[in-house]
Amino acid sequence: MFHPIYRLHPFEIITPYTLRIRFDDQTEQIINFESVLAGELFGPLRDLSLFNEVRMDPEVYTLTWPKGPDFDPATLHGWPQHAEIWKERARQRDLALA
């Protein structure tokens, strides 16, 4: 099975919880992460000041935040195909914590 490897290029925060992400194949995604921030790992990123600490890991070219949360570049590249799954997982995490 072929699994493409993408590298992130510079990204920018364009609105709260929303990033414009560029990739090495000259494509980009604009992603609002707010609806997928749930559970022990991603839930703390609902704090906008923590979310805004996003960085690009220079070794593996992925988005990362303090204390470990990250998103795989292939997932970000194909976000339109993955977004609903991430939203459903977030909803399930929120229900489990309720």
What integer pLDDT is reported at residue 60 of this predicted model? 84
Task: Please give the Cα distance from 23 to 79 (Å, whole number).
Answer: 12
What's the mean pLDDT in 2-16? 87
| Whole-angstrom distance, CA of residue 77 vs CA of residue 21 | 8
- Mean pLDDT estimate for the chain: 88
Dihedral Cα 28, 81, 35, 7, nearest 10 deg = -40
CATH of range 8-97; options 3.40.50, 1.10.10, 1.10.287, 3.30.2020: 3.30.2020
pTM of the model: 0.84
